[in-house]
């Protein structure tokens, strides 16, 4: 899945903390999302469709963040956007797209989602890139970001000439996968025993 060395991309490494969310919990969250075998198939299909469009997807998403000061704020250092930080995160974000579509949702995947969660939360934000940016992404933007990350993907899924039924299948699977990951990323923000 990973073809280049990405700074801070620690997927599957022993140094990654085991997720406090169990595989059984993950199964139940997926069940709540009405996850099916078709979703797995459609995510793999989406991975094929998106693999050569990742930079374009990120250009769109980064443009959206850049045009919204309240979102760009989380990448600022001394009130100014930190371009090195934005670049490092972008490389990992690109890999996240591919991982979301192609990796099995096993213990390694679950552990890495917890690592991503901590990197948004004051637990570990800024530490991976050794920056002094804003120390926390506020919870409200974690969940609100589900919509733009979902709705903007559809035009990319339509670009390879798939039947509309397949585009809808990929889009719905993507929506479920994004909702699942963001749910997992919210773990550090929730009081102990309430997740």
Q: Which domain CATH number covers 62?
A: 1.10.490.10
Residue 4 has pLDDT above 90, yes or no: no
* Residue 195: inside a domain: no
Asked whether residue 160 is domain-assigned, the answer is: yes
Give 179's Cβ-side CA count (13 Å radius): 15
Contact 157, 49 (CB under 8 A): yes
Domain range enclosing 115 = 25-189
Domain contains 2: no
Average pLDDT estimate for 43-64: 97
pTM of the predicted protein model: 0.95
Q: Identify whether 91 is part of a domain.
A: yes
pLDDT band at 112 (very low <50, low <70, confident <90, very high): very high
Name the domain count of the chain. 1
Q: In this structure, is residue 13 part of a structural domain? A: no
> At a CB cut-off of 8 Å and minimum separation 6, what does 109 contact?
99, 103
User: Please, is 89 exposed, middle or buried when counting C-beta atoms within 10 Å of its C-beta (0-12, 13-18, 19+)?
Assistant: buried
Per-residue pLDDT at 21 exceeds 80:
yes
CB 31 within 8 A of CB 194: no
């Amino acid at each position: 899945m990973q073809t280049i060395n990405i700074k801070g991309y620690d997927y599957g490494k022993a140094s990654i903390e085991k997720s406090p969310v169990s595989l059984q919990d993950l199964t139940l969250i997926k069940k709540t999302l009405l996850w099916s075998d078709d979703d797995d198939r459609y995510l793999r299909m989406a991975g094929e469709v998106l693999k050569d469009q990742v930079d374009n997807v990120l250009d769109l998403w980064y443009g959206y963040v850049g045009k919204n000061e309240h979102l760009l704020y989380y990448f600022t250092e001394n009130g100014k956007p930190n371009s090195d930080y934005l670049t490092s995160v972008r490389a990992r974000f690109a890999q996240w797209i591919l991982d979301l579509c192609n990796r099995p949702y096993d213990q390694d995947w679950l552990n890495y989602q917890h690592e991503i969660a901590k990197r948004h939360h004051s637990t570990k934000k800024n530490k991976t890139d050794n920056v002094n940016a804003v120390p926390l992404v506020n919870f409200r933007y974690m969940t609100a970001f589900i919509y733009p990350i979902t709705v903007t993907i559809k035009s990319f899924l339509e670009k390879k000439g798939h039947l509309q039924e397949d585009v809808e299948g990929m889009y719905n699977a993507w929506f479920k996968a994004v909702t699942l990951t963001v749910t997992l990323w919210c773990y550090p923000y929730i009081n102990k025993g309430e997740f």
